[in-house]
């Protein structure tokens, strides 16, 4: 969904993602300034993180396509043998886990080039990352995707017939899973902003990011139970499994 500007088609999804990235950068800039770091480095590194995030998100989607794409023939093997389709990020989608991984790798490269303390900057971007995700999830709303199982709850959302999954063509209302994840991410933003101001003397560099790596995956893990369109690898919901592993490992490192 979007609008035409001359020869270009502007997608609402892309606009919302960019708004999320810019809002995240503003928050990271504020946190960097509060910690006595060079806040202008946020904007210098933003393009690195965006490019790394897009590449990582697309690779994740290619490696773990949802079942509906697999049913249409868009498997990992198909993408590997059709590189132009693999590059078409507007066809198929992006994966949040891959976006986070790609963005972090790009940020690490940038930090090495600028000789920055990577752990400190991870803590700076932790609440900003959650904010970007909270805003970016509304792109799923305009695309009528990332909805959960059918429901009649007061906050149910209507999904147009062409966006319904096979076997659900006659069901109109669903859980707004994108909204649940957006609200959970906003709650994480608030917590990650409050925690270092309240317990700054008890936190080590990197702790705040580890807490993010516990909180977000826990919410995502639980939401996968109501998600209809899952990515299965060997019969296992790979996104849910990955979230569980990340949360457990991050909790272990934090305790250690």
144-155: pLDDT as tens digits: 888 889 999 999
Is 147:156 a contact under the CB 8 Å cutoff?
Answer: no
The model's pLDDT over 154-192, given as tens digits with 9 standing for 90+, comes to 999 999 998 888 888 899 999 999 999 999 999 999 999
**pLDDT value of residue 129:** 92
**pLDDT value of residue 92:** 64
Integer-rounded Cα radius of gyration of the chain: 19
235 Rama class: left (phi>0) / alpha (psi -120 to 50) / beta: left
For the chain, the average pLDDT equals 87
User: What pTM was estimated for this model as a whole?
Assistant: 0.85
Residues 6+ apart with CB under 8 A from 98: 56, 57, 58, 59, 60, 61, 63
What are phi and psi for residue 116, nearest 5 degrees? -100, 155
Confidence of residue 245 (pLDDT cuts 50, 70, 90): very high
Written as six digits, the tokens of 115 are: 């000789």
The model's pLDDT over 71-100, given as tens digits with 9 standing for 90+, comes to 677 778 888 887 777 777 666 667 778 888
**pLDDT value of residue 27:** 95
């Amino acid at each position: 969904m979007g609008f035409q500007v001359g020869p270009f088609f502007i997608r609402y999804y892309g606009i919302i993602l960019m708004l999320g990235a810019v809002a995240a950068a503003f928050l990271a800039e504020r946190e960097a300034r509060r910690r006595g770091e060079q806040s202008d480095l946020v904007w210098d590194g933003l393009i690195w993180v965006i490019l790394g995030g897009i590449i990582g998100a697309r690779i994740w989607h290619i490696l773990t396509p949802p079942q509906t794409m697999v049913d249409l023939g868009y498997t990992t093997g198909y993408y590997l043998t059709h590189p132009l389709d693999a590059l078409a990020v507007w066809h198929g989608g992006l994966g949040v886990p891959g976006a986070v991984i790609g963005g972090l790798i790009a940020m690490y490269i940038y930090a090495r080039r600028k000789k920055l303390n990577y752990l400190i900057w991870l803590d700076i971007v932790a609440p900003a990352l959650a904010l970007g995700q909270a805003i970016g999830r509304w792109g799923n709303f305009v695309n009528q995707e990332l909805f959960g199982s059918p429901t009649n709850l007061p906050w149910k959302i209507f999904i147009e017939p062409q966006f319904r999954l096979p076997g659900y063509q006659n069901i109109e209302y669903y859980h707004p899973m994108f909204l649940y994840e957006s609200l959970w991410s906003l709650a994480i933003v608030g917590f990650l902003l409050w925690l270092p101001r309240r317990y700054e003397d008890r936190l080590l560099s990197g702790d705040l990011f580890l807490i993010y790596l516990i909180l977000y995956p826990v919410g995502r893990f639980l939401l996968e139970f109501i998600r209809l369109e899952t990515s299965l690898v060997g019969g296992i919901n790979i996104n849910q499994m990955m979230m569980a592993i990340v949360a457990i490992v991050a909790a272990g490192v934090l305790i250690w």
